[in-house]
Chain A
Amino acid sequence: MNMKKMDVLITGVGGQGVVLASDIIGETAIAAGFDVKKTDTLGMAQRGGSVVSHVRMGEKVWSPLIKEGEVDLILAFEKLEAARWSHYLKSGAVVVINDYEQPPQSVSLGQEKYPTDKELVAALKRRTDKIYIIDGNKKVKELGNVRTLNIFMLGCFAAFAPMDDKFWQASITQRMPENIRDINLKAFALGRKEIESVRIGTH
């Protein structure tokens, strides 16, 4: 991975904290000396729709949107939402997926089928084999606060990102209100640890 630039998609379902997570990535990257642009694409509603954030960091960034085929890493908070953006990946990119399934309405109504893990992985494998699947919901439940999922996922992302730990600590500390600061810092550390064990296991 070229450490002078990185183009990241953070994907998930409305309500999972995708936008806050991408804000923190952007703020951390600025502190580490990168030029940054980020943009969120949300549907109309407050909750439940498909959400994707584009975050770009580099020496100089022009377009806020990443071109299809140029994404270095997808950080997916929900499985289907990883596959949905697979055509944005460049070859050999990294995909980090939360092993969580939220069936869309059409699936619950029996009109469409939720894809199998095999189908989801096949979509991603068109571009890369570097796919890491982590049970984030289970881990943050054990930690004691399911709302920390987004920061746990940032911990997973940090292992691949060109920013030192001190910048992450500072930006999370700054963004989180005092009463939930410690638990989020713990979630971040936990995510970082989990991804390392999966990485060693896979490659």
Chain B
Amino acid sequence: MEKTLQLLSGNEALALGAYHAGVQVASAYPGTPSTEILENLSRFKDIYAEWSTNEKVAMEVGMGAAYTGARAMVSMKMVGLNVAADPFMAASITGIIGGLVVITADDPQIHSSQNEQDNRHYARLAKVPMLEPSDSQDVYDLMGYAFEISEEFDTPVLFRTTTRIAHSKSVVDARKSRKVKNAQPAFLFNPQKYVMLPVNALPRHALVEKRMEKLAVYCETFPMNQIIWNKKKIGIVTSGVAYQYAREVFPEASFLKLGMTWPLPQKMIKDFAAKVEKLIVIEELDPFLQENIKAMGVKVTGKEFIPLVGELNTRIVTESSIGAGLVPESEKPQVLPPAEGLPKRPPLLCPGCPHTGIYYTLNTVGQRSKLLESKEPQEPKLIITGDIGCYTLGAYPPHNVLDTTACMGAGIGQALGMEKAGVKSKVVAVIGDSTFLHSGITGLVDAVYNDGHITILILDNHTTAMTGHQEHPGTGVSAQGKETQAVDIESLCRGIGVKDLKVINAFDLKALRAGLRDSIDREELSVVIVRGACAMQVRKREHPRKVDTEKCTQCGVCLKLGCPAIQTVDGKVYIEPTLCAGDICALCEQLCPVKAISA
């Protein structure tokens, strides 16, 4: 028997809730803070769980499964829904048969993302219901409703979490057990529903509008939209983790806590507003609730004092509310400033990282240090367009090798665009293996087709590293550990028509320098696959390197690798043996001009 009280993260509670709700097909592409949902689900052997090539494919897999009456769940980070927006909109208009729940894990504060978009707007855009939990128990309980709402109203359900929900742990009472509603899924012929030719799509749009009307009635009595009555001087409408901060800051206020934030329960909100002296909304990011409540003709404030940018916390809610006269000045937190002058500790490439060698090479060949020294902005000798993954860390010192980072797969198209615009410098695109398969392939096809002269570096560490080592189509192992066909990146590039293709060992500095120089000097498009296993996946760490202090001249060249194991202690270079990756790497040994580094 399972323990009833467990300490679960939002993602763990979500996976367990979906499993108990009878999910049969689950698909996802890894992305912080959503990754652990599919990782947890893939451990249940009585469901099908896959890492999809990207979020768009994941959505299509979920949609197909739901069309057969199975319960399906698709999970992604918020920017993943941009990739999956096309099939998401399609699933809204066709509707589904089996429940389809789409998880969007937003990242207020941009802990690990490229923007701070508020995906609640997608619910309104796609005209689908949206659920928002405020802790792990809410996550578990709302999952029970999500599939039922999806099936009852023939619609995908958007389930929105945030980093602070997904990655916080709280106590969960998970008493349900798994029930599968439709054990034998079947697809039934129904072109009016599934074939979105104009003649079918227009009547479906009318049905979508009817669906929203029915949901607007349903949400008025939805059990997870709750009123907590207290004193009636201040009434607070809130959802998600903002509810927790608001409860702590306003112990005497009354609350309307919304578990469903689209559509909004208009009657419930108006009744609540009528009974309190002052109505406020406390929400993270955009004024989504506030503006929609205003549109009902209700007087409400919120974003006039609650920040639009970054995640909230109790201090921010307290200070903002003092500013608005809602909390007495005496509550002002006596906050000290952070201690001054402490060195920062940003994330780094790991010791033994296969990206280190090529980044050192790009830095020196591209004369990147000159860019930082120059007072006026200038065009780099090598323009380097970047992408999304661990290798984005190459933007930090001492590498300083990235000129752009936008979104998954963007670097290749950006590189081609710069070349075609007519820049004088050579343009190099850097992308990882998982990201290349996610959305770099179409960029490469475009560059080959349109006669680009760019160089594309595919940094192949054989895993999706930054999100915690998930499998992908290039590894030949599925999310549930099954051996499958691995996509061969070399053959793929050759099939597209790449003529100049090199594969170089990521830990051979001489070969990296020679290979990079050869490729960038060519007129034609070139691809260099830099191959080396992710250091975190190599268990064998033998012979950590040591510095011979007699020979070392303190020239500092090895420090330019940016390896965390190579440190300066009391003015002398020192290699921390517990951090050094040893024989698998040895880049510092190759680099040392006086041969002071050895095993």
Contacts and interface: CB of A to CB of B under 8 A. Distances in A.
Contact of B336 (A43, A46, A86, A119): A86
B244 A64 contact: yes
Interface in A101-140: 102-115, 119, 123, 126-127
Given A69-B333, A69-B334, A69-B335, A84 B342 contact: yes
A47 B536 contact: yes
Contact of A46 (B169, B392, B468, B559): B468
B346 A49 contact: yes
A47 to B, nearest CB: 5
Interface in A72-109: 80-81, 83-84, 86-87, 102-109
A123 B392 CA distance: 33
Interface residues of A, number: 55
B335 A68 contact: yes
A105 B169 contact: no
Interface residues of B, number: 59
B339 A49 contact: no
Contacts of B564: 47-48, 105
Nearest to B247: A62
B151 interface: no
A86 B343 contact: no
B555 interface: no
Contact of B313 (A63, A80, A110): A63
B7 A49 contact: no
A109 B171 CA distance: 44
Given A39-B164, A84-B339, A47 B348 contact: yes
Mostly helix, strand, loop or mixed at chain A's interface? loop
Given A46-B465, A63-B313, A68-B315, A123 B344 contact: no
B262 interface: no
A103 B241 contact: no
A36 B171 contact: yes
Interface in B329-363: 333-339, 341-351
A20 B426 CA distance: 46
B313 A41 contact: no
A80 B342 CA distance: 8
B536 A46 contact: yes
A48 B499 CA distance: 39
Contacts of A146: 578
B553 interface: no
A194 interface: no
A26 interface: yes
Contact of B168 (A37, A45, A67, A87): A37
Interface in B1-48: 5-7, 32
Nearest to A101: B569
A64 B138 CA distance: 14
Interface in B184-236: none
B314 A64 contact: no
B183 to A, nearest CB: 35
A112 B345 CA distance: 11
Interface in B151-175: 164, 167-171
Interface of B: 5-7, 32, 111-112, 135, 164, 167-171, 241, 244-245, 247-248, 313-315, 318, 333-339, 341-351, 390, 392-393, 397-398, 465-466, 468, 536, 556, 559, 562, 564, 566-569, 576, 578
17 contacts: A23-B7, A26-B7, A38-B169, A46-B536, A47-B564, A49-B347, A62-B245, A65-B313, A69-B335, A86-B338, A86-B339, A87-B339, A103-B343, A103-B569, A107-B567, A112-B344, A146-B578
Interface of A: 13-14, 23, 26-27, 30, 35-50, 61-65, 67-69, 80-81, 83-84, 86-87, 102-115, 119, 123, 126-127, 146
